[in-house]
A and B are shown apart, each in its own frame.
Chain A
Amino acid sequence: MQIILDELGRLETETVRQIAEAGTLETLEELRVGVLGKKGRLTAILRGLKDLTVDQKRDVGGRANQLKTKLEDLIVSRREELMGASSEAGLIDITLPGRPLRYGHRHLVTVVMDQIIDIFQRMGFEIADGPDIETDYYNFSALNFPPDHPARDEQDTFYVEGDRLLRTHTSGVQVREFEKRRPPVKIIAPGLVFRNEAVNTRAHCVFHQVEGFYVDTDVSFSDLKGVLEAFVYEFFGPGVEMRYRPSFFPFTEPSAEVDIRCFLCGGKGCQVCKHEGWLEILGSGMIDPAVFKNVGYDSERVSGFAFGMGVERTAMLRYQVNDIRLLFENDIRFIRQIR
């Protein structure tokens, strides 16, 4: 019996040391199987107890079970330790690149267009769109552009087969929507527009516009200013100074160009604002009664405003892009810079 007890003592000393030295979960597991497993050393000892007397069994058995519990506890806690810090510590070069997962970018025009649309949607404007290939009626006549009037020169037009043209502005959507609806009508119309102009750094023959209009029983220029101020504050920053310059568009009267204080120079004058201290951002005005007449609205009962802005221009201002052609060349090194 003493032999057995001695063996237990040796086993304990040896195993406790081995547990402490086990460097990996695998070694620890091997150790556990070797001692406590079905064919393990301690299991074998316990199995040998059957030849002993009851008293001996009690003494040796108690000791062996005590040891078993002790070793199990030690293994569990060593396992915990090993799980907390794997053996690879110090072996990893964390500067190696991660698995390449691509993330794409929206086009600059989409990014800015979405921002603009989002602001107006929050003010209760509904999105509508119209055809890019338009008739003279929707693009010009219904918008109070008389035939053979110099106002048409301001918008050089591409004509296509079949007596149609490429819309020069998204304002035609006004007429199309007015024809379909009765006031109140509160809509923004984003889309592509075309101008028959030579392409250079500042102008392209294609660009995007967002047109907005609101017609109701009691809409004034004052309301237009409120909506545009809300837009400017949200898009360019709260408190940005604005000015309204009377201008001329055949389909609005009074008409105004809207400028904001140049956010690059604060109004002192710089290249971007052409040393004027102001940046033109959109055109606007009160919808002309002639337009209402064309769609069967009674201008004595309803009034409304309309505004339109160039998305590329706004985008270029925001990101200080100096060449509009970059927007349509689609170089991914350009697209990837957009946030």
Chain B
Amino acid sequence: MRLPYSWLKELSGIDWSPEETARRLTASGTACVLEMPRPEHFRQVVIGQIIKLERHPNADRLVVTEVNTGDAVHSVICGAPNCANGQKVVLALPGANLKGELTVKPVTMRGVKSAGMICAEDELGISADHSGIMVLDPEAPVGVSAFEYLGLNDPVCNLEITPNRPDCLSALGVARELAVLAGRPFAPAFEPPGESADKVSDYITITIADTQACPRYAARIITNLKVGQSPWWIRRRLLACGLRPINNLVDITNYVMLETGQPLHGFDYDRFGTKEVVVRRARDGEPFTTLDGKEHRLDPTVLLITNGKAGVAAAGVMGGLESEVADTTTTVLLESAYFDPGVIRKSARKLGLSSESSYRFERGADPNGVVRAADRAAVLMTQLAGGKVAAGVADNYARRISPVTISLRPAQVRRISGADIAVPFMEKTLRGLGMEVASGETLSVTVPTYRPDVTREIDLVEEVTRIYGLDSIPVSRRNSGPLYTPTHRHHTIKDDIRNILTGMGFEETMGTGMAHADRQLRIDPGLDPIRITNGLSDEYGVMRTRLLYSLLLSGGNNIRHRNVDLAIFEVGKVYLRGDKEPFEPEYVGVLLTGKPDGVYWKGKSFASDLFELKGVLAALTEGLSLEPASLHLEPAPGYDPAQSVVIRCGEKVVGRGGRVDRRIARLFDIKQDCYAAELELTALLAAEKPRKPFVPLPKFPASARDLAVIVDNPVTADEVLTEIKTVGGELVESASLFDLFTGEPVPAGKKSLAFSISYRSAEKTLEDEEVDRVHGRIVEYLGRKFKARLRE
């Protein structure tokens, strides 16, 4: 909310600078940012009076005026439709630099000289209005700086009011805060309006059908009104608060709302239709047109103000078009009511409308402040629109809302704050906030109804501490709490994974957890994703069911930027439908594409492939101390059926991977092969090897032998290796494939596999003969089992 500094200063009586005011408000919970005046934008901008006005000889739409600024008369051309002789106007003279953007210079327009510019509000930066020039009050002093006369030397306090503080949605509310902060008394004076001989009861009666939704409805009748422009001081304040001035009657209701926080509504009494106000729920399908011209079909969520026959206003939200105050209005039915916050909130939502009025009612107006606000508006209508106020207030207070009384134990303030706040300070603060305080061992505090947020002792604790100042509470530098706080493996494993994968050159990416439904389903048609029912866009339409989605999204983003060589990983949740509630397993996913190792002048660089992926998985599982990973060809959704694998650690399935299905990669603008794997964290945790005692290092030397065999293509390396180990028994310490060769001289349909075998005994140094014997047995056995032939 925006409020001019001068208004707050006037109401609170403080003598703080704007900066100090903003600082104190911020430190007590009403965040305030100042918008400072810009005098440089009003240099050479003065008040003038049009003393002569003639048609421009060469232009139909222009007039040539003479503007008197006291010490001189300036000839100025004006194109505004509302320009008239005798008006007091704002004149920008040559040299002015309006809004810091527009420099005014003497010009010649169609042969006539113009020595300045008569300004519209938007040109001065006061509002967005460019419908015509700004016309000032007749008593505006000619020759005076517009900056000062218009009160533009006044900073505006831009206030952030938290939803619990409806009282601060008003100048008086914020002024009360300032007064209590300054330790000043605060008792705003209200004068009741002088009343005429007419009786309000002759004009209107009020019936409330739903007293839960509308505990109180009050009205005043003001007659003999003359609609016109409001005086500048009201318009200036409305503009500073961000409201558009309309006419004196509407402006007064808005002004009093800004001043008191009580939304008011003025009906044109002559067009109201009847002599009764009936407040009731709207009927299903009941039509109603709000004053913005929108037609609505209502239902009972909307509380309706009616004239007993039809709706005249959506209570607390917006008035109706039919009975809106118009230029011809002479009698006003002035509504000042209290509506239930929840009812107005639902009603405003139903109508799809939010107004200054609904904003305040939703947060809570003051049921006991309605008559004062009506009185205040009535006084202004007599003063500024010539109105006469009918005697009495039509006030139906059907469900009384009374102030509550709460006990406050001073010790509780100290217990919660940790500050040694004195009881007199507590009492003074609460009284300053408008509460009644009965002293004693515990304070008995009666809270005014404009503070609906204060209902419990803790609320009073907050009031005292925020005025005391949270910055004044001492800082405790003790550490306390449980001495032992365990770490959890399901957290630390993620750290381990990140260490291992970044160590292997993978960059960590971060997805949003949300996914595009179609693309997600293409990856895994078998998993029906959880849908977001009020999503912003298709991109965030469902929850992701596979980490592969995010990896491909990140991959695509990079490839689009020509980062085509990628090794990335992500650790995160996927979201699956569960039996009773959603299930959110965590995964680690890796993706390789292009040549992430880059080029090397000493040798050729490899493009990522399934075996790089396999190597990564082996290193990852080794780094995590898991059972060794093994890959098994098996189709998996999202991956190319010919190159997809299930990943096991020992016997347990921990994930799947492979070459990403090229059709799916295309959905993410990826036209190069990607290799990815997704591993589930709880499965990885389950595959952790138990901690084993240290195995002593071998005492005796090993003997190495190489073995190259030619076998039929379908024979796998693993089968051969298994046999080598089986046949060699304990003496084979390790065996590894070091070469795979096909083509001449290896016959077609066959391949040569070369293994390096290390023989070692734990008991003795092996004799060459002994090794030869075992090695020979292996050769012989492989020959029989696989029809393998030794390659020379």
Q: Tell me the number of A-to-B contacts counted with CB atoms below 8 Å.
A: 251
Please measure, in the bound complex, the distance between the C-alpha atom of A110 and the C-alpha atom of B543, giving whole angstroms.
21
**B573-601 contact mask (Cβ, 8 Å, vs A): 1 or 0:** 10100000110100000000000111111
Q: Which residues of A contact B553 (CB under 8 A)?
A: 330
Chain A residues near B466 (CB, 8 Å)?
Answer: 246, 254
Tell yes or no: B695 within 8 A of A by CB: no
Closest chain-A Cβ to B21's Cβ sits at a distance in Å of 15
Q: Would you call B121 an interface residue if the criterion is a C-beta within 8 Å of the partner chain's C-beta atoms?
A: no
Size of the B side of the interface (Cβ < 8 Å), in residues, is: 94
A133-B543, A148-B342, A151-B163 known; A104 and B504 CB under 8 Å? yes
In the complex, which residues of chain A have a beta carbon less than 8 angstroms from the beta carbon of B27?
243, 245-246
Task: Report the minimum CB–CB distance from A276 to chain B (whole Å).
Answer: 7
Known: A105-B507, A331-B557. A127 touches B584 (CB 8 A): no
- Residues of chain A within 8 A (CB-CB) of B476 are 220, 222-223, 225-226
Is A254 touching B416 in the complex (CB atoms < 8 A)? yes
Answer yes or no: A124 CB below 8 A from chain B CBs.
yes
Question: Whose C-beta in chain A lies nearest to the C-beta of B416?
Answer: A286
User: Is there an interface contact between B502 and A103, defined as CB atoms closer than 8 Å?
Assistant: yes
**What 1/0 flags go to A186-211 for Cβ under 8 Å of B?**
10000010101111000011100000
When distances are taken between beta carbons in the complex, the residues of chain B under 8 Å from A22 are none
Contact of A166 among B363, B498, B532 (CB under 8 A): B532
Residues B345 and A160 in contact, CB atoms below 8 Å apart: no
Q: Which residue of B lies closest to A245 (CB)?
A: B26
B605 / chain A contacts, CB cutoff of 8 Å? 100
Bound-state CA distance A164–B416 (Å) is: 34
Contact A106 B508 (CB under 8 A): yes
B481 lies within 8 A of chain A by Cβ: yes
* B532 in contact with A160 (CB, 8 Å): yes
Q: Does A256 contact B (CB under 8 A)?
A: yes
Find out whether the CB atom of A132 lies under 8 angstroms from the CB atom of B584: yes
Nearest residue, chain A, Cβ from B456? A289
Closest to B33 in A: A276
- Expressed in whole angstroms, the minimum distance between the Cβ of A185 and any Cβ of chain B is 8
Min C-beta distance of A130 to chain B, whole Å: 10
Interface residues on A, range: 35 or more
Shortest CB distance A143–B (Å):
14
Residue of B nearest to A161 (CB): B531
Is A153 an interface position by the 8 A CB rule? Answer: yes
Closest Cβ–Cβ distance, residue B6 to chain A (whole Å): 22
Closest Cβ–Cβ distance, residue B568 to chain A (whole Å): 7
B530 on interface, CB distance cutoff 8 Å:
yes
Nearest neighbor of A106 in chain B, beta-carbon distance? B508
Cβ-neighbour of B475 out of A127, A196, A229, A276 (below 8 A): A229
**Known A184-B481, A253-B458: A126·B29 in contact at CB below 8 Å:** no
> Does B563 lie within 8 Å of A206, measured CB to CB?
no
Complex Cα–Cα for A127 and B509 (A): 22
Q: Are A246 and B470 in contact (CB under 8 A)?
A: yes
Q: Is B708 an interface residue (CB 8 A)?
A: no
Interface string of A94-123 (1 = CB under 8 A from B): 001101111111110110001000000101
Chain A residue at minimal CB-CB distance from B354:
A153
Chain B 373-412 interface 0/1 with A at a Cβ cutoff of 8 Å (1 = within): 0000000000000000000000000000000000000000
0/1 per residue, B526-548, Cβ < 8 Å to A? 00001111111000100100000
Chain B nearest Cβ from A204, distance in angstroms:
8
* Chain A residues near B419 (CB-CB < 8 A): 221-222
**Pick from A101, A104, A127, A131: contact of B491, CB under 8 Å:** A127
The verdict on A84 contacting chain B, using a C-beta distance below 8 Å, is no
Name the contact of B543 in the complex, choosing from A160, A184, A286 (C-beta under 8 A): A160
Contact B471 A243 (CB under 8 A): yes
Q: Are A330 and B512 in contact (CB under 8 A)?
A: no
- Cβ B510 vs Cβ A148 within 8 A: no
Choose from B459, B498, B535 the contact partner of A158 (Cβ within 8 Å). Answer: B535
B165 proximal to A (CB < 8 A)? yes
- Asked whether A6 is an interface residue with its Cβ less than 8 Å from the other chain, the reply is no
Q: Please tell me if A214 contacts chain B, counting CB pairs below 8 Å.
A: yes
Chain B 678-698 near chain A by CB (<8 Å), digits 1 or 0: 000000000000000000000
Most buried by B among A161, A204, A333: A161
B513 and A221 form a contact (CB under 8 A): no
User: Does chain A have a CB within 8 A of B188?
Assistant: no
Q: Which of A106, A124, A149, A330 contacts B558 (CB 8 A)?
A: A330
How far is the CB of B572 from the nearest CB of chain A, in Å?
8
Q: How far is the CA of A335 from the CA of B555 in the complex (A)?
A: 13
B561 contacts the other chain (Cβ, under 8 Å)? yes
- Tell whether A216 pairs with B480 under 8 Å between CB atoms, given A102-B596, A127-B488: yes
Chain B residues 709-760 with CB under 8 Å of chain A are none
User: Does the CB pair B473–A225 fall under 8 Å?
Assistant: yes
Cross-interface CB contact of B164 among A107, A223, A248, A328, cutoff 8 Å: A248
B482 at the interface (CB under 8 A from A): yes
Partner of A164, one of B503, B507, B558, B582: B582
Which B residues touch A276, using CB under 8 A?
Answer: 33
B623 to chain A, nearest CB (A): 13
Residues of chain B lying within 8 A (CB to CB) of residue A184: 480-482
Least CB separation from B513: chain A residue: A192
Query: Which of A132, A214, A256, A330 is within 8 Å of B568, CB to CB?
Result: A330
Across the interface, B582 reaches (CB within 8 A) one of A101, A129, A133, namely A133
Does any Cβ of A come within 8 Å of B566's Cβ? yes
The reply on B485 being an interface residue by CB < 8 A is: yes
Cβ–Cβ < 8 Å partners of A253 in chain B: 458-459, 461-462
Q: Contacting B598 at CB < 8 Å: which of A100, A104, A192, A222?
A: A100
A329 on the B face (CB < 8 A): yes
Provide the bound-state CA to CA distance between A205 and B534, in Å: 13
| Interface residue from A164, A186, A192, A222 paired with B481 (Cβ < 8 Å) | A186
Distance from B608 Cβ to chain A, minimum over Cβ atoms (Å) = 12
Is A18 on the interface with B (CB-CB < 8 A)? no
Roughly how many angstroms separate A192 CA and B584 CA in the complex, as a whole number?
12
**Proximity bits, B442-479, A CB within 8 Å = 1, else 0:** 00000000000000101101100110001101111111
The 8 Å CB contact of A150, one of B26, B345, B458, is: B345
Q: Which residues of B contact A186 (CB under 8 A)?
A: 481-482, 485
Taking CB as reference atom, which chain A residue is nearest B349?
A: A148
Query: Restricting to A202-248, which residues have a CB under 8 Å from any CB of B?
Result: 204-206, 214, 216, 218-223, 225-226, 229-230, 243-248
Alpha-carbon distance between A102 and B565 when the two chains are bound, in angstroms: 12
Q: Is A327 an interface residue (CB 8 A)?
A: yes
- Taking the closest CB of chain A, its distance from the CB of B607, in whole angstroms, is 14
Expressed in whole angstroms, the Cα–Cα distance for A99 and B679 within the complex equals 30
In the complex where A101-B505, A105-B507, A220-B476 touch, is A151 in contact with B485 (Cβ < 8 A)?
A: no
A125 in the interface (beta carbon within 8 A): yes
Task: Flag B335-347 by CB within 8 Å of A: 1 or 0 each.
Answer: 0000000100110
B501 close to A (CB within 8 Å) = yes
In chain B, what residue has the closest Cβ to A148? B342
Judged by a CB distance under 8 angstroms, whether A58 is at the interface is: no
Among B26, B476, B534, B535, max chain A CB count under 10 A is at B476
B514 close to A (CB within 8 Å): yes
Task: Check if A332 is an interface residue, CB within 8 A of chain B.
Answer: yes
Of all chain B residues, the one with the shortest Cβ separation from A243 is: B471
CB distance A104 to B567 under 8 Å?
yes
Contacts of A223 in B (CB 8 A): 418, 476, 478, 480
Known: A104-B503, A186-B481, A286-B416. 10 other contacts (CB 8 A): A124-B482, A126-B486, A148-B346, A220-B416, A222-B476, A243-B471, A248-B164, A303-B416, A328-B512, A336-B507
19 contacts between A and B (CB under 8 A): A102-B597, A105-B508, A121-B485, A148-B342, A151-B163, A197-B536, A205-B514, A206-B514, A219-B480, A220-B415, A220-B476, A221-B417, A247-B31, A247-B162, A276-B33, A332-B563, A332-B568, A333-B561, A335-B507
Counting from the closest, the 3 A-B pairs by CB-CB distance are: A102-B505, A222-B418, A220-B418
Identify the A interface with B (CB < 8 A). Answer: 96-97, 99-107, 109-110, 114, 121, 123-127, 129, 131-133, 148-151, 153-154, 158-162, 164, 166, 184, 186, 192, 194, 196-199, 204-206, 214, 216, 218-223, 225-226, 229-230, 243-248, 253-257, 276, 286, 288-289, 303, 327-333, 335-336
